[in-house]
């Protein structure tokens, strides 16, 4: 069973999801809006993050940031 979390929905209807499949692989699923053809793409996390700085990328980075506890780092 795949697990999915909505990452971002753009004003034009494109949708991005963070997916973990049954093997444990994690990737981004992009569903283009109907006007763009409705194509679906699965994108490796590294490839996704290196491909731009749009709101969908910022949302993934924000989500990753929530995994870090806020403790001072000693130098």
Mean pLDDT of 23-44: 95
* pLDDT (0 to 100) of residue 73: 74
pLDDT at 55 over 80: yes
pLDDT at 72 over 80: no
Gap between the Cα atoms of 14 and 20, Å rounded: 20
Mean pLDDT of 21-31: 95
pLDDT bracket for residue 2 (50, 70, 90): confident
* pLDDT (0 to 100) of residue 68: 84
Gap between the Cα atoms of 44 and 20, Å rounded: 11
| pLDDT top residue among 69 and 28 | 28
Closest CA to 7 of 37, 51, 48: 48
Q: Give the 3-state DSSP-derived string for 14-31, with helices as H, strands as E and coil as C.
A: CEEEEEECCCCCEEEEEE
């Amino acid at each position: 069973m795949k697990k999915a979390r909505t990452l971002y929905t753009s004003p034009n209807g494109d949708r991005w999801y963070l997916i973990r499949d049954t093997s444990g692989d994690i990737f981004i699923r992009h569903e283009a809006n109907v006007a763009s053809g409705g194509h679906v793409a699965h994108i490796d996390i590294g490839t996704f993050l290196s491909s731009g700085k749009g709101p969908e990328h910022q949302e993934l980075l924000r989500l990753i940031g929530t995994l870090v506890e806020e403790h001072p780092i000693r130098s």
